[in-house]
Amino acid sequence: MGTGNGLEHVSKKTTKIVYGIDINDGFLKTCSHRYAKRIGSLQTRCLDIHHEYFTEDTVDLVIANLVLEFIDIERFIGQLKLVSRKGTIVSVVFQIRHDAPFISGSGVKAIERLSEYKQEVDRSFLENLLKHEGFICIKELHHMLHDGKEMVRFDFRKT
């Protein structure tokens, strides 16, 4: 969830509720401040997926952008099992470094702490786990950045 990048595209007309989940309560407060009135149904939850799961609802869409590098992939799949149903879309974005630094110089000092929790996402491992849970890949995009990193997006649908 972070501070809500992308939530400006959420439509009140087509969206009943948005759950924003992050380990950082400060990010969630910033997100709520920015988007709660605009979305109307934004509910944030501060939780650490390594220790607890979100269990309040099933969902139509899960977006995990630049998250998988910092959490246990199998715990992520465990979370998906709890919230997904037939038709649920899971969209993930992760980075491939290609000899670039794991975390680019952002100027935000708090981000540097994340480097101690980092892992490369094993694409095959992720795809196999999702396939085992009944997800099929419906989209794959790649985008090279100027610093040598590659951003990879996969969208999966639960069958």
> pLDDT of 121-142, one tens digit each?
999 999 999 999 999 999 999 9
Q: CATH 3.40.50.150 in the chain: give the residue spans.
A: 58-158
CA dist 132 and 136 (Å) reads 9
Start-end of H helices in 45-122? 73-83, 109-112
Tokens found for residue 151: 């951003």
Q: What pLDDT, in 10s, does the model give residues 16-30?
A: 899 999 888 988 999
Q: Are strands 18-22 and 42-46 parallel, antiparallel or unpaired?
A: parallel
Look up residue 128 and give its amino acid: N
Query: Using 50, 70 and 90 to split pLDDT, how confident is the model at 152?
Result: very high
98's CB contacts (< 8 A; 6+ apart) are: 148, 149, 150
* Architecture label for domain 58-158: 3-Layer(aba) Sandwich (3.40)
pTM, two decimals, is: 0.83
CA dist 88 and 3 (Å) reads 24
Tokens found for residue 26: 């400060």
Q: What pLDDT, in 10s, does the model give residues 60-114?
A: 999 998 889 988 899 999 999 999 999 999 999 999 877 755 555 555 454 555 5
Tokens 């981000």 sit on residue: 111
The pLDDT, as a whole number, for residue 66 is 87
